[in-house]
Amino acid sequence: MKFGDTFMQYLQGDQTGNLVKCAHVEYKILKKVLKNCRSQGSSSASCKNEQQKDEGNNELSSGLSQFCHCESCPLCDQIFFSELMREASHIAGCFSSRVRHLLHLHVARGIQRYKLRLRQCFKNDQQTMAEEGRMLIEYVIMNAIAIRKILKKYDKVHCSVNGNNFKSKMQAEHIELLQSPWLIELGAFYLNFDGIDGGEFSEFCSQFSCDLNGTEPVMTLTLPNSMKLEYSLTCAICLETVFNPYALSCGHLFCKLCACSAAFVLMFEGLKTASSNAKCPICREAGVYTNAVHMLELDLLQKRRCNEYWKERMAAEHAEDVKQTREYWDSRTKYAIGFLEPHGLFSPLDPGKFMEHVPGMPFFLAGPGATIGGMCATRCSGSIAVRYGTMRDNVISLKVVLPNGDVVKTASRARKSAAGEGILGVTMEVTLWPQKFPLHSVVTMYNFLTIKDAADVAIDTMLSGIQVSRVELLDEVQVRAVNIANENNLTELPTLIFEFICTGKYGRRLYGFA
C-alpha cells in the first residue's frame, strides 16, 4: 500500500479520536499541487541539460550530487512551502501542548499530585493516559513521515534540493517533529508506564527503547518503516548521562548544572533568567534558554533504572546548589556592607552563630547560616543587641507572604507588641535602620570567683549607663575548653567579657575604669 493511502486511512480512523481538532498535513492537496505544476516537464529537461554540461566540464559533479540546483517554480512554491510551513508549525504546537498536559498529570507535584491520587481511588485513568500517549506518538510520526515524503516528491519533480533545504529551515525554526524534546519526554513517559504496570502497556511502548548503562546512553525510536532514530542522552559539557535534564529551544539536552554554567546563571536562579545573548554550547544559537523544557519524565526514568547513579548526582548537585546560594548571598551582604561604609553606616544585625570577622571593621558579619529573611523569621539579632536593640528594633517595614497567600506590607509598628517570636510567612522585602559606624571599641575581660558575682557586675554595668555593645559570660568549663582548643593560658574561672563602642577619649576613660 502506498503511503498516501496509508495516511488517508490513518486520518479516517482518527476522526473519532481525541485529535480531531489537531492540524494534519494536507498530503493529497500538496501532492496535487506538485502534480499540476506546469514547470515539471521543462524543469526536468533543463535539469538533464545542465547535468550533461556539468559532466562535460567536471567529471566529479555527478558523483557529488544527484540533483541539480536549478531555479524552483515560483507558482508552485508560493502555495507549497508556505502551506507546509504553516501546517508543520501548527502540528508542532498542538503536539507540544497536548504532551505537556499529559505529562503534567503523570508527574504532578504538590497538592495537585494528592488530588490526582485521590481521583484514582474512584477512577483509574491510567489506561486513558496510555491510550492518549499512543495516539500522540502515532500522530507525530505519521505527520513527520508525510512531510518527509512530500519534500522528497518536490525535489524529484523539480530536480532541486529546495525540499532538503526546507528540512534545515524547519530545524532552525524548531518545528522538526522527530527532533522535538517532547517526543523524548513522551518516550520516557511510556517507558515509565511499562515499569510501573509490569508490562501492561508494553505493546504501546515497543516503539521506544532506552539504554542508560551503555558506553553512550541513547533512547531509540522505531518508525513504522523499521527505520530507527537514536537520541543521545549524553551531556555535551560534562560528558556524563544527563542528570536533571533540560532541553533548550534548539533541542539539545544538558544537565541543569551544566546548562546554568554555560548560561552564566546560578542554579537557584534558573535558566529562565539567562540573558537573551546566551548561546547554546553546541549550535551557538542565542536566546535558547528562556523556553527551556525541564525533562521530568526522563529524570524519573533515570531515577528508576540507575538509582545509585541518580543518588550520587543528586547529592553532588545539591552540594553545588547550596555552595552557589551561600556564595551569592555572602557577596550580596558584603556588597551592602561596602555600600554603607563610605557613608559611615553599617547594619548592626549580627547573629551570635555563624559569625565571621570582616577585616578592617570592628564587628562581625553574619556568615553562611544567616540571612536577613531568616533572621526576621526567628527574630535573631546577635550579640550586639545590647547596644543596638533586637531585630524588631531595627526593622522599619516588611513585605511578607502569609500561609493563606495574602501579601502583607507593614509600614509601621503594630499596636500589639506581644505577638510572639518571628514571622509566620515568607519574607519578600525588609527595610532596615542603618547605624553610624563605630570609631573605637574597647574589649575587657574580668575573672570572678562565682557565677553570681559575674552576673551582679553585669547587671550593675548595664544600669550604670555605660555604652556596652557586647557582653558574654563564660564559666570555668567553657574557659577550659577555650584553652584546650586554642592552646591559651586563660585563668579557668568564671569570666565576663565586655565590648564598649565609643569615641577615642571616652574609650580611654572606660579602659581606666576597667
For the segment 297-313, the average pLDDT, to the nearest whole number, is: 88
Q: Which residue has the cell 555527478?
A: 62
Q: Does domain 348-435 have CATH number 3.40.50.300?
A: no
What pLDDT does residue 396 have? 86
H or E element that contains 294: strand 293-294
Nearest CA among 167, 161, 171, 169 for reference residue 147: 167
For the segment 301-319, the average pLDDT, to the nearest whole number, is: 89
Nearest CA among 326, 346, 344 for reference residue 336: 346
**Tens digit of each residue's pLDDT (9 = 90 or more) over 392-414:** 888 888 888 888 888 888 875 54
**Tens digit of each residue's pLDDT (9 = 90 or more) over 151-190:** 888 777 777 777 777 777 777 777 778 888 888 888 888 7
User: For residues 216 and 17, which has the higher predicted lDDT (pLDDT)?
Assistant: 216
Q: How many residues does the chain have?
A: 514
Looking at the domain covering 234-343, what would its CATH class be? alpha beta
H or E element that contains 414: none
Ranked by mean pLDDT, which of 77-91, 148-162, 488-502 comes out on top?
Answer: 488-502
For the segment 48-76, the average pLDDT, to the nearest whole number, is: 47
pTM (2 d.p.): 0.64
For the segment 116-122, the average pLDDT, to the nearest whole number, is: 65
What pLDDT does residue 270 have? 87
Do the Cβ atoms of 421 and 379 come closer than 8 Å?
yes
User: For residues 63 and 335, which has the higher predicted lDDT (pLDDT)?
Assistant: 335
Q: Tell me phi and psi for residue 15, to 5 degrees.
A: -60, -25
Q: What is the 8-class DSSP label of residue 342?
A: G
Do the Cβ atoms of 207 and 200 come closer than 8 Å?
no
Does residue 52 carry a pLDDT above 60?
A: no
**Tens digit of each residue's pLDDT (9 = 90 or more) over 192-205:** 776 444 444 455 55
Q: Rounded distance, CA 178 to CA 184, Å?
A: 9
Q: Would you tell me the crossing angle of helices 181-196 and 74-106 to the nearest 10 degrees?
A: 30
Q: Which residue has the cell 516537464?
A: 41
